[in-house]
Chains A and B, each alone.
Chain A
């Protein structure tokens, strides 16, 4: 079973991602952290997990997505984990991609996996989880 870590502070978005993954038929263990600090704890703490994919919100309290990406990039054991960002705009993804923060894809909020525009994301997500 694939392991996904979702870092997102908004309950509605967490629920949306859960339902969306279910809808496109991704079977996985989904762990949820509510901000960057919790996310890091989950990756490095006592009961640490090693997810195949991290889905990450950018605007979060305590530690935001960008800070989180910068930190895991510096960990040898964490820097190869694939990351997707949850964002409202493609521009934000492009910005992060240019900054070379090791972001592999994006999921546009609001989540709607039925739309054609998110087909690419869907395909990428499926491939990523299967190839691992």
Chain B
């Protein structure tokens, strides 16, 4: 296990106001980490801060040993970091196939191999490859969003609430896919509302409160912790 992502004492937010106040976390490759916490704790802001989509006012973010804070999003993507935002996470006016092509935008060659791997993971996408993404169902759209993010063979995948808008039958399937993704050697950092199910697949859980990490432990241990269960997992 080597350290993949280091977030050190980061302060970030929209405009001048900080939503993250000195958050620190590290992530190893081949690990699923789940961030839980109340609304407004800064879970989504953390993901955006890693990709430079919000203003970072202090601290350092390193990926595979390189400082990435202050870099452009496309340069960060080049290093092997992928991100699936919670909303507006597909190109709604483009076809499924074109969405996946955009995922491989930085790829010079070998599009076919990468495509077939994503289609193996999400067979439904292949059936709908010429459909406009905006007309997909919520579950299919989430698969496409993850498929797009996986096209470049990232070393780390950031997932912002991958199951938030899904019907219950898709939730379990999504977590199953996430486990599969990890088994291919890709690290996963995810924010989840379905905390119990997410922690069940997680190697590590992080509780984020008021822009700082409050607790950190293995997924099962956090689930077993009564205090946390009462406060953050709905009893």
Indicate whether A and B interact.
no
B interface with A by C-beta (< 8 Å): none
